[in-house]
């Protein structure tokens, strides 16, 4: 959550009049935040809050489901290479979709002879 533009403008007016420490003591706004606002005002001329830019997901849900249906035994490395992502990203995407990577273990049941125990 960011401060409204009006609050930012008032804080900067008080910074010019009383200084950073006084404004910080009264409002509780961090000094570095006040400095960033002053820098933003000088560079852009506006104190509007910046939009948060998030990167797009590389592992789209429907594409990942289709890939997993076609390649059910694919390793995380193969999945990440296919989608140009990281192994951790592939793991998290599979977890988000509740697709498990656990496989049934197959044990060979055979009797062990006494001579094979190497006693």
Instruction: Give the pLDDT confidence of 60-82 residue by residue, as tens digits.
Output: 999 999 999 998 888 999 999 99
When pLDDT is cut at 50, 70 and 90, the band that residue 92 belongs to is very high
Q: What is the pTM of this model?
A: 0.50
Where do the structural domains in the chain lie, given as residue ranges?
Answer: 5-44, 61-96
Token pair of 118 as six digits: 């190497």
DSSP for 56-116 reads: PPSS-HHHHHHHHHH-TT--HHHHHHHHT--HHHHHHHHHHTT------------PPPGGG
How many other CB atoms sit within 10 Å of the CB of residue 34? 21
């Amino acid at each position: 959550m960011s401060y409204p533009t009006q609050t930012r403008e008032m804080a900067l007016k008080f910074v010019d009049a009383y200084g950073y420490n006084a404004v910080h003591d009264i409002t509780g706004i961090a000094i570095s935040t006040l400095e960033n606002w002053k820098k933003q005002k000088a560079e852009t001329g506006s104190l509007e809050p910046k939009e948060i830019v998030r990167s797009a997901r590389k592992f789209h849900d429907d594409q990942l489901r289709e890939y997993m249906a076609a390649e059910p035994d694919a390793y995380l490395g193969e999945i990440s290479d296919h989608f140009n992502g990281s192994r951790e990203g592939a793991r998290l995407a599979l977890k988000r979709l509740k697709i498990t990577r656990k496989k049934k273990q197959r044990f060979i049941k055979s009797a062990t002879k006494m001579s094979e125990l190497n006693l």
